Amino acid sequence: MTRGKLFVVPTPIGNLKDITLRALEILNSVDIIAAEDTRQTLKLTNHYNIKKTLISYHQHNEQGKSDNLIEILKEGKSIALVSDAGTPGISDPGSVIISKCIEEDIDFEVLPGATAAITALVYSGMDTTKFLFRGFIPRDNKDRKVVMEEVKDRKETLIFYEAPHRLINTLEFLKENLGQRRIAICRELTKLHEEIMRFTIDEAIKHYKVNNPRGEYVLIVEGKSEEAIEQEEISKWEGLTIEQHILKYMNEGFSKKDAIKKTAKDRKLSKSEVYKYSLNI
Ligand code: SAM
């Protein structure tokens, strides 16, 4: 029996027009649409007059439901997988069924389309050549500390998703762990109340304490800057005078010349500047 095919279909993140012609064609042609929330997907299918059988595929039934979908695909039926908004698999169910299709050698196609992270990243005006998407920051304090440890020294632009009721707390947490940085807060993308605010994290905290957060948010945080990295390197040596710094290396067995060279490098100073401090050693 010919096997069916799975189509991973991105849907709009707000504006219903943000769906591709191919996505509509596929939603119209498959046997079944597997949806994160069938009521939510019905709004889209009704809008485009698409009449299909909808079955639910969400976070809590993803494992079991994937096996079920694989059976349907093996029976030769085609399935379109959609989430409530944006691209399935991006902070949404999707990855389990995709890995099962790979395991079972079932054909699948992923369509390109809307995703809040990328729209927000481009809106931010920050470095788009390298970025790190971390989705929702975990709620548990220990888990979210682990995420901060992983990202705090990264130079890439950071992308987080956040719910409105947790926004202020998350901003305070980001300030505490990443220090003062530039942040772009992208709210209600593609919707009527779309708003892009560009701040420092402190300014953002002040703003949202007065203006109650509402709607959906993507946070784009600048990566660690070269200056911050350099400053941190230099401040490592704050406890030593320049003379002590040279002596430290000499005690480790370096020649005076090499100790001067290494000290100058550590402190981002010129060798001639450091040399002056070595005259009394
Ligand atoms: N799969 C989606 C995607 O491709 O972007 C993400 C789904 S995730 C469950 C939902 C989160 O995405 C929201 O809490 C918010 O952080 C972000 N999001 C989704 N739509 C958005 C929009 N229109 N404006 C801002 N953020 C949005």
b/e string for 123-156 if b means 16 or more Cβ within 10 A? bbebeeeebebbeebeeeeeebeebeeebeeeeb
For the CA of 14, the nearest atom of ligand 1: 23
Q: Tell me, which fold does domain 6-110 have in CATH?
A: Cobalt-precorrin-4 Transmethylase; domain 1 (3.40.1010)
CATH 3.40.1010.10 in the chain is located at 6-110
Centre of ligand 1 to C-alpha 185, Å, is 13
Task: Tell me the per-residue pLDDT of 102-151, one tens digit each, with 9 for 90 and over.
Answer: 999 999 999 999 999 999 999 999 999 999 999 999 999 999 999 999 99
Centre of ligand 1 to C-alpha 154, Å, is 23
Mean pLDDT for the stretch of residues 76-98: 97
- Residue 11's pLDDT band (cuts 50, 70, 90): very high
Nearest to 264 by CA among 237, 239, 227: 237
**Count of residues in the chain:** 281
Q: Tell me, which fold does domain 116-227 have in CATH?
A: 3.30.950
pLDDT of residue 233: 82
C-beta neighbour count of 162 within 10 angstroms: 21
* Mean model confidence pLDDT for the chain: 95
13 lines ligand 1 (CB under 6 A): yes
CATH 3.30.950.10 in the chain is located at 116-227
Task: Tell me the per-residue pLDDT of 247-258, one tens digit each, with 9 for 90 and over.
Answer: 999 999 999 999
Phi, psi of 219 (to 5 degrees): -110, 125
Centre of ligand 1 to C-alpha 216, Å, is 6
Stated pTM of the model: 0.89
Task: Tell me the per-residue pLDDT of 210-237, one tens digit each, with 9 for 90 and over.
Answer: 999 999 999 999 999 888 888 888 888 8
